Amino acid sequence: MRGVVFTGDRGVELRSFPDPEPGPGEVVVRIRASGMCGSDLHTYRAPAAAESGALVVQGHEPCGEIHAVGPGVPVEMAKIGDRVMIHHYWGCGTCPDCRTGWPQMCSVIEPRVPTLNEHGGHAEFIKVPALQTIPLPPSLSFKAGAAIGCGTGTAWGGIERLGNVSGRTLVVFGQGPVGASATMIAAALGARVIAVDVVRRRLDAAEKFDADTVLDATAGDVVEAVRELTGGRGAELAIETSGVTPVAKQALDVLAPWGKACFIGIGAYVSFNTKETLRRQLTILTSWTLSTVQQIRCAEFVVSHGLPVDEVFSHTWSLDDAVAAYEWFDQQRDGKGVFVP
Ligand SMILES: [Zn+2]
Ligand SMILES: [Zn+2]
């Protein structure tokens, strides 16, 4: 099979690999959609020498159909032709973290992660433990399943951390794939969403995804604008997806007393003065991707609310276009890309 690898310093190559064979407890999934994720760019931009994962196939948002089943996998769990999403981490399988659906936090073995130490989904096939496959609801496309596996699922995880968003004002900083998904999900849950970005096309998409108000951060002071929109009090809730330090600070500054902020974007540094912050009784949360259980719940919610998750993808690429696809994605001016092998 062919697979996309990163060679460092923004190098991308399509290389040949042996077709995977499933071992005991494993399945091989034929990829029908493999999402591009903002976190790919950390590896893509890394210097060649420092990139230890350069030779594994990239892509950690795979979705497809079971192509081959290894020994010992019960037919109820996986059979050829099943449409599946993939929870893209696996651990020991038996520790408390793994058993509660958080194999990425496994404390017994180093978690296995496509793109880091296992081959990922930007290929024709991927081999994974059968336990890490999750049925894709019949009404959802493979693209939707790919999005729920990471970008949209990460938004879901952050919103679950915030708790009840219904009837509350939520500022979503960044309208990339995760932020756009957060806007869509929170609006469907009944939140009044204020969507913030610096790219007009992304703000237009946020409007389509039912944001109550969109704010162009290049056009004025976001913190002031949120105060005006909330009668001077501030927002009850904020989600930060950009990973940019000054933006992360705004996520705290927009909050009303008793407000909660959830940090999802990677790379920002957040500092706060405890005296000022505790007098506002703020809650500061982080959220890292999602559990297997949350992936199932997120998919059910997308189905029951008919959310247009596919529309988070603005571009579809073939594996042959991988170089151009990542050059485009590196600009971060649009939505999300997906490979359809
Ligand atoms: Zn991701
Ligand atoms: Zn474990």
pLDDT (0 to 100) of residue 334 = 77
Token readout for 138 is: 């019949």
- Nearest to 123, CA basis, from 30, 42, 36: 30
88 alpha carbon to ligand 1 midpoint, in Å?
A: 9
Q: How confident is the model at residue 50 (pLDDT cuts 50, 70, 90)?
A: low
Q: What is the pLDDT of residues 76-119, one digit of tens each?
A: 999 999 999 999 999 999 999 999 999 999 999 999 999 989 99
* Residue 147, pLDDT above cutoff 80: yes
* Residue 52, pLDDT above cutoff 70: no
- Residue 96: partners with Cβ closer than 8 Å, 6 or more residues away: none
101 class by beta-carbon count within 10 Å (0-12 exposed, 13-18 middle, 19+ buried): middle
* Closest ligand to Cα 176: 1
* Residue 172, pLDDT above cutoff 60: yes
Q: How confident is the model at residue 137 (pLDDT cuts 50, 70, 90)?
A: very high
Instruction: Please tell me the distance from the alpha carbon of residue 264 to that of residue 30, in angstroms, as a whole number.
Output: 30
Structural domains in the chain, sorted by start: 2-150+290-339 (3.90.180.10), 155-286 (3.40.50.720)
156 alpha carbon to ligand 2 midpoint, in Å?
A: 23
CB 56 within 8 A of CB 8: no
Q: How confident is the model at residue 39 (pLDDT cuts 50, 70, 90)?
A: confident
Instruction: Please tell me the distance from the alpha carbon of residue 322 to that of residue 3, in angstroms, as a whole number.
Output: 10
* Residue 236, pLDDT above cutoff 60: yes
233 alpha carbon to ligand 1 midpoint, in Å?
A: 34
Could you give phi then psi for residue 21, rounded to 5 degrees? -115, 130
pLDDT (0 to 100) of residue 53 = 47
Instruction: Please tell me the distance from the alpha carbon of residue 113 to that of residue 90, in angstroms, as a whole number.
Output: 7
Instruction: Please tell me the distance from the alpha carbon of residue 239 to that of residue 260, in angstroms, as a whole number.
Output: 9
Could you give phi then psi for residue 57, rounded to 5 degrees? -65, 135
* Mean pLDDT of all residues belonging to the chain: 95
Q: How confident is the model at residue 239 (pLDDT cuts 50, 70, 90)?
A: very high
232 alpha carbon to ligand 1 midpoint, in Å?
A: 36
pLDDT (0 to 100) of residue 332 = 83
Q: How confident is the model at residue 240 (pLDDT cuts 50, 70, 90)?
A: very high
Specify the DSSP element, H or E, that contains 314. strand 313-317
Q: What is the pLDDT of residues 298-314, one digit of tens each?
A: 999 999 999 999 999 99
60 alpha carbon to ligand 1 midpoint, in Å?
A: 6
- Residue 236: partners with Cβ closer than 8 Å, 6 or more residues away: 168, 169, 170, 255, 256, 258, 259, 260
pLDDT (0 to 100) of residue 181 = 97
* Residue 54, pLDDT above cutoff 60: no
* Closest ligand to Cα 93: 2
Ion ligand 1 neighbours, Cβ < 5 Å: 37, 39, 150
